[in-house]
Chain A
Amino acid sequence: MSKVLIYTENFDGKFKKLNFEAASYGAEIAKQLGGEAVAISIGNVDDNELKQLGAYGVSKVLNFKNDAFADLDNQAYASVVAKAVEKEGAEVVIFSGSTTAKAVAPRVSVKLKAGMVFAAIGLPKNLSPFTVPKKVFHGKAFADVEINSNVKIISLAQNSFGLVESATEIAIEAFDVDVDTAFNTKVTKVEKATGKVLLNDAEIIVSGGRGLKGAENWPPLEELAEILGAATACSRPVSDEGWRPHSEHVGQTGKIVAPNLYFALGISGAIQHLAGVSSSKVIVAVNTDNEAPVFQAADYGIIGDVQKILPQLNEAFRKFKNEN
Chain B
Amino acid sequence: MKILVCISNVPDTTTKIKLTGDQSAVDLANVQWIINPWDELALTRALELKEGSGGKIEKVTVITVGEKTAEPTIRKALAIGADDAIRVDAAPGDAYAVAHEVSEAIKNENYDIVLCGIESSDYNGSAMGGMLSEFLNLPSVSSVSKLEIEGDQLKVNREIPGGFEVVEPQLPFVAIVQKGIAKEPRIPSMRGIMMARKKPLNVVAATGATALTGFLGYTPPPAKAACRMIDAENVGELVDLLHNEAKII
**Residues of A with Cβ closer than 8 Å to B?**
11, 71-75, 78, 98-99, 101-107, 109-111, 113-119, 129, 131, 134-149, 184-194, 196, 198, 200-201, 204, 228, 240, 246-247, 249, 252-254, 260-261, 271-272, 275, 278, 281-282, 284-285, 295-304, 308-309, 312-313, 316-317, 319-320, 324
Q: Would A107 and B224 count as touching, CB distance under 8 A?
A: no
Q: Would B121 and A137 count as touching, CB distance under 8 A?
A: yes
| Bound complex: CA A201 to CA B162 (Å) | 10
| Bound complex: CA A296 to CA B228 (Å) | 10
B92 to chain A, nearest CB (A): 14
Asked if B168 is an interface residue, CB under 8 A from chain A, the answer is yes
Q: Give the residues in chain A near B216, CB-CB below 8 Å.
A: 129, 131, 143-146
Nearest B residue (CB) for A147: B213
Q: Interface code B157-175, partner A: CB below 8 Å = 1, 0 otherwise?
A: 0111111111111100100
| Bound complex: CA A300 to CA B234 (Å) | 13
What is the predominant secondary structure among interface residues of chain B facing chain A? mixed
Q: Would B238 and A142 count as touching, CB distance under 8 A?
A: no
A242 to chain B, nearest CB (A): 10
Q: Would A118 and B166 count as touching, CB distance under 8 A?
A: no
Asked if B127 is an interface residue, CB under 8 A from chain A, the answer is yes
Q: Would A301 and B227 count as touching, CB distance under 8 A?
A: yes
A125 to chain B, nearest CB (A): 9
Q: Would A185 and B167 count as touching, CB distance under 8 A?
A: yes
What is the predominant secondary structure among interface residues of chain A facing chain B? mixed
Q: Would B134 and A285 count as touching, CB distance under 8 A?
A: no
**Residues of B with Cβ closer than 8 Å to A?**
11, 13-17, 19, 26, 37-38, 94-96, 99, 118-119, 121-131, 133-135, 139-143, 145, 155, 158-170, 173, 176, 179-180, 184, 211-221, 224-225, 227-232, 235-236, 238-239, 241-243, 246, 248-249
| Bound complex: CA A304 to CA B216 (Å) | 45
Given A185-B170, A192-B162, A148-B127 contact (CB < 8 Å): no
Q: Give the residues in chain A near B241, CB-CB below 8 Å.
A: 300
Q: Give the residues in chain A near B228, CB-CB below 8 Å.
A: 299-301
Q: Would B217 and A144 count as touching, CB distance under 8 A?
A: yes
Q: Give the residues in chain A near B15, CB-CB below 8 Å.
A: 137
Q: Would B37 and A320 count as touching, CB distance under 8 A?
A: no
Given A118-B125, A300-B242, A146-B141 contact (CB < 8 Å): no
Top 3 nearest A-B pairs (CB, nearest first) are A106-B130, A115-B212, A192-B163
Q: Would A105 and B162 count as touching, CB distance under 8 A?
A: no
Q: Would A142 and B221 count as touching, CB distance under 8 A?
A: yes
Beyond A110-B135, A189-B166, 12 additional pairs, beta carbon < 8 A: A75-B133, A75-B134, A99-B142, A113-B212, A137-B11, A140-B17, A185-B168, A185-B169, A198-B162, A201-B161, A204-B249, A272-B13
Nearest A residue (CB) for B183: A240
Q: Would B37 and A253 count as touching, CB distance under 8 A?
A: yes
Given A102-B118, A271-B14, A301-B228, A147-B168 contact (CB < 8 Å): no
Q: Give the residues in chain B near A107, CB-CB below 8 Å.
A: 130-131, 133-134, 140
Q: Give the residues in chain A near B170, CB-CB below 8 Å.
A: 184-185
Q: Give the residues in chain A near B211, CB-CB below 8 Å.
A: 115
Q: Would B229 and A102 count as touching, CB distance under 8 A?
A: no
Given A145-B215, A272-B14, A296-B227, A303-B232 contact (CB < 8 Å): yes
Nearest A residue (CB) for B161: A198
Q: Would A140 and B221 count as touching, CB distance under 8 A?
A: yes
| Bound complex: CA A103 to CA B135 (Å) | 14
